[in-house]
Amino acid sequence: MSKLVRFGVSIDRDLLLKFDRLIHQQNYQNRSEAIRDLIREILIKKEWFEGKEIAGAIVLVYDHHKRELVNKLLSIQHDYGNLIVATQHIHLNHNNCLEVITVRGKPKEIEQLAFTIKSAKGVKHTQLVATTTGKEIV
């Protein structure tokens, strides 16, 4: 278990005011928790940058009536099966489906999967949510 330490920070007053306003809007109870999250954010970016095993989700919306698109998306997912942990499919309305593809693996391969999905004809929107396996994040 890691120990809690305190440290002082010198910061421009206006910058701190802006920070306090922002974290208040985001419902943080205090600066400490907001600063901890900022540090985690940077560490997770570093995990991605360094090519460590990471986790994430690819969210996409598409029209399932588009010819060949459903087959194409299935085929892509089989090609990248080693990265995919689970897929959730939601029928949004008559035409549109939303899928959440949960992934785990090397950042470059996951980005490649996201790009391949994004560039498939008929996919309306794709978003890659990049997070961590949590192993090295306290």
CA distance 40 to 78: 32
CA distance 90 to 79: 22
Nearest residue (CB) to Ni ion, 91 versus 135:
91
Size of the site for Ni ion (CB under 5 A): 2
The secondary structure of residue 25, as a DSSP letter, is H
Judged by CB under 5 A, the stretch of 1-9, 20-28, 42-50, 93-101 that binds Ni ion is 93-101
Answer for which of 44, 57, 58, 97 binds Ni ion (CB under 5 A) is: 97
91 contributes a contact to Ni ion by CB under 5 A: yes
Positions that interact with Ni ion (CB under 5 A): 91, 97
